[in-house]
Amino acid sequence: MTIVGLTGGIGSGKTTVANFFEDLRVPVYFADIEAKKLMNRSKVLQRKIKALFGEEAYVNNELNRPYLASKIFNNENLLQKMNAIVHPKVGKHFDRWVKNQNAPYVIKEAAVIFENDSYKNYDFIITVVADKKARMKRILKRDLTTQQKIKAIMKNQWVDSKKVRLSDFVINNKSFENTREQVDSIHRKLLNLSN
């Protein structure tokens, strides 16, 4: 099975692109969503996360995300420790998911692929890019957040040019229509490459 990674900076349009691939019946695994589900569901993860962050990490068995975000923010060491707990579990869950798919290739959508070196685990990588101003505007329209918060997240992510150099495909997400065309074209190439 060919494994394709799909990534991009905050608000670049990863989910939008992933949904376009789903429209072409490509199975997509949304790593960040699955990670959050596993952090709620898995007793082992709960125990380890509580050991790292304290009992307040969960409220009524639900991950206390604002608390965790405040702890992790600007604390690279804690972030790395949390990733070391969560990533292997998501990795195993993904491997099981892959075994249940019947398609020439599958996509794993994840915000972080380059930053944590996991790009080596993929056969191909697609990076979605969009200019910072457009991303900012789109996120502000979608989320209840501030420019300052978005900028802080952007600062912690690799710049697009660095990701582009290591990618097999790049989608420049300007208009929905044009992005769908780029997805169609990459899909055709991936079908050929997967055979």
User: Which residues make up the interface to ligand ATP (CB under 6 A)?
Assistant: 8, 10-16, 111, 138, 142, 173-176, 179
CB of 181 to ligand ATP, least distance (A): 12
Q: Considering the complex, what minimum distance in angstroms separates the CB of residue 149 from ligand ATP? A: 11
Q: Which residue, 82 or 128, is less far from ligand ATP as judged by CB? A: 128
Residue number of the CB closest to ligand ATP reads: 138
Cβ distance 155 to 65 under 8 Å? no
C-beta of 5 vs 11, nearer to ligand ATP = 11
Pick 28 or 45: Cβ nearer ligand ATP: 28
Whether the Cβ atoms of residue 114 and residue 12 lie closer than 8 Å to each other: no
Q: How far is the CB of 54 from ligand ATP (least distance, A)?
A: 27
In the bound state with ligand ATP, the residue whose beta carbon lies nearer, of 112 and 193, is: 112
In the bound complex, what is the minimum distance in angstroms from residue 47's beta carbon to ligand ATP? Answer: 28
- Asked whether 109 and 8 are in contact (CB, 8 A), the reply is no
3-class state of residue 73 by DSSP: coil
- DSSP-derived secondary structure for 11-51: TSSHHHHHHHHHHTT--EEEHHHHHHHHHHH-HHHHHHHHH
Q: Which residue type is seen at 16?
A: T
DSSP 80-133: HHHHHHHHHHHHHHHHHHHHT--SSEEEEE-S-STTTTGGGG-SEEEEEE--HH
> Closest approach of Cβ 144 to ligand ATP, in Å?
13
Helix (H) or strand (E) holding 8: strand 2-8
**Closer Cβ to ligand ATP, 52 or 79, answer by number:** 79
DSSP state of 61: T
Q: How far apart are CB 129 and ligand ATP at their closest, in Å?
A: 10
Cα radius of gyration (the chain): 17
Q: Which is nearer to ligand ATP, 132 or 174 (CB)?
A: 174
